[in-house]
A and B are shown apart, each in its own frame.
Chain A
Amino acid sequence: MNNEVTIPATGQVTTDKETIVLIEGLYKSFGEDNPVLKGVALTVKKGENLVLLGRSGSGKSIIIKCIAGLVTYDQGSIQVMGTEINGLTNQQLNELRLKMGFLFQNAALYDSMTVRENLAFPLKRHSPEKTEQEVTEAITAELESVGLAEAIDKMPSELSGGMRKRVGLARTLILNPLLMLYDEPTTGLDTITSREISELILQIQQKNKTSSIIITHDMACARLTGDRIVILENGIIHAEGTYDELAQSKDTWVRSFFT
């Protein structure tokens, strides 16, 4: 494990309010012959956008799924806001998840529900004291902030890919998460829509001082949104730095991402 490189002593960390995510020596394999993560270490500070690059199938989605407790990991530790994910009870995990937002690769809208119901579904469950009107107001406000107020009564099947992503974003933002996990937020969108989504990500960061992990293959998005970039390769974090540092790296392999 190469955790001495970036990680301060653990005792220091749990009291550190500035570290939102702390991953040390993370191992995950599917079956005996398919190790995917082999000692990943990374940190996300408060209010920071961390971009996660890596080839297809390198295990990027798995990392954020481990953070959200959707996938269990074999070894190592993930602390989110000072809480270790492995070993939480379901209820504790759900409490922690309320502070996280997850934007899925294909938005994962509930296709049996309208856009309004999609947003109301998590909101009503977590704030049962809200009246119908308060719920509607919150939904309208959130949809307006992603520029989709007119789509409120549409079904997901009637929306374009970019609109779905934005509704997905609105659905996670309605619970005011402190940590956002974006899985390829701009994949499959044209350059203009991609840019709009990237700008939304920046707005979210600025508005609530939200920390984010952004998985992307879109270098324009990485450049615009990322405060710091890490590259995953062969199950470990291979390189780390700002966009400009990595773009001028001596390592040709790292540089190849930026051309």
Chain B
Amino acid sequence: MITSLKNIFNDTGTITRFMARFFSELLHRPFEMKEFLRQCYFIGYKTLPLVGITGFIMGLVLTLQTRPTLAGFGAESWLPGMVALSLVREIAPVITALICAGKISSGIGAELGSMKVTEQIDAMEVSGINPYKYLVVTRVLATTLMVPLLVFFADAIGMAGGYAGINIHSDVNLYRYSSQVLESLDYIDVIPPTIKSFFFGFFIGSIGCYKGFTAANGTESVGKAANASVVSASLAIFIIDMLAVQITDLFM
């Protein structure tokens, strides 16, 4: 028990140092532009379909679930606004981040883990190339920028799902639906979740990289690295979410 607690603190210490190194390396040239763009493509573009499908289903389900409750108060006209609010504030960022933890964080963990195990990272180092810069900085920056974009995308698709959900039971035209949605959203509803998404992205990328970089020798540790990435990243997402709620509360 005490040793496992000690391990957790040790881990937190090394992971924090690992993340801090990101910022110091980011400021030093050269910047690996090509690899960064390649990662953005993989992380952003390749996750779009998955995020799109889940976003649509979330919007649809949320609408169908909320409708009876609101109908009970005779407040069905609030439906679009309510769905939009829950999507933008909470559902879309968290669900997207969890999907990214499952797909991207584990992917990075497995990729870097196998590079570590097969000595590719060492090979990079002996040929005078900084593997942290080439592998970690590019990936963490890509996730930090791509996850918020994916969240916006999930917001939009989720609202389309909501529109489909409303039209199952009643007939609302698109113009009225969108004006109701836009009316209900304020800057204060959009900015905190966006900031939160940057943090999600940063942690998804850096936890995957950390687990991959610190994979032990042997092929089974690649699987372990991938697995540990998902677990820690998901946990980090919930913790950040909780902190974010507290912090936004302070300002509202």
Chain A positions within 8 Å of B, measured between CB atoms, are 65, 68-70, 90, 94-95, 97-98, 100, 102, 104-106, 108-112, 121-122, 125-126, 171-172, 175
Contact = CB atoms under 8 A, between A and B. Distances in A.
B120 A97 contact: no
B128 A97 contact: yes
A122 B120 contact: no
Which of A65, A97, A108, A172 gathers most chain B CB within 10 Å? A108
Nearest to B30: A125
Contacts of B189: none
Contacts of B123: 102, 104, 108, 110
Contacts of B122: 65, 70, 102, 104, 108
Which of B123, B125, B129 gathers most chain A CB within 10 Å? B123
Nearest to A70: B122
Interface of B: 111, 115, 118-120, 122-130
B129 A111 contact: no
B129 A125 contact: yes
A163 B238 CA distance: 47
Nearest to B124: A110
A104 B119 contact: yes
Contacts of A65: 122
A106 B130 CA distance: 21
Contact of B118 (A69, A106, A125): A106
Which of A100, A122, A172 gathers most chain B CB within 10 Å? A122
A97 B124 CA distance: 11
B120 A68 contact: no
Which of B111, B125, B126 gathers most chain A CB within 10 Å? B126
A68 B123 CA distance: 10
Contacts, number: 50
B126 A97 contact: yes
Nearest to A103: B123
Contacts of A70: 122, 125-126
4 smallest CB-CB distances across A and B, nearest first, come from: A108-B123, A122-B127, A94-B128, A108-B119
28 contacts: A68-B126, A70-B122, A70-B126, A94-B128, A97-B125, A97-B126, A98-B128, A100-B126, A102-B126, A104-B122, A104-B123, A105-B119, A106-B118, A106-B119, A108-B118, A108-B119, A108-B120, A108-B123, A110-B115, A110-B120, A110-B123, A110-B124, A121-B127, A122-B127, A122-B128, A125-B127, A125-B128, A171-B127
Contacts of B115: 110
A182 B132 CA distance: 25
A172 B111 CA distance: 23
A145 B126 CA distance: 22
A97 B119 contact: no
A23 B120 CA distance: 26
Contacts of A112: 111
Nearest to B111: A112
A121 B123 CA distance: 11
B230 to A, nearest CB: 21
Nearest to B121: A108
Contacts of A94: 128
Given A97-B126, A104-B122, A125-B129, 6 more contacts: A94-B128, A97-B127, A106-B118, A108-B118, A121-B129, A122-B127
Contacts of A109: 120
A171 B120 CA distance: 12
Which of B120, B122, B125, B128 gathers most chain A CB within 10 Å? B128
B20 to A, nearest CB: 16
B127 A175 contact: yes
A65 to B, nearest CB: 8
A192 B135 CA distance: 37
Contacts of A172: 127
A69 B122 CA distance: 10
Nearest to A183: B119
A108 B115 CA distance: 8
B96 to A, nearest CB: 26
A174 B212 CA distance: 29
A111 B120 contact: yes
A105 B118 CA distance: 9
A24 B122 CA distance: 24
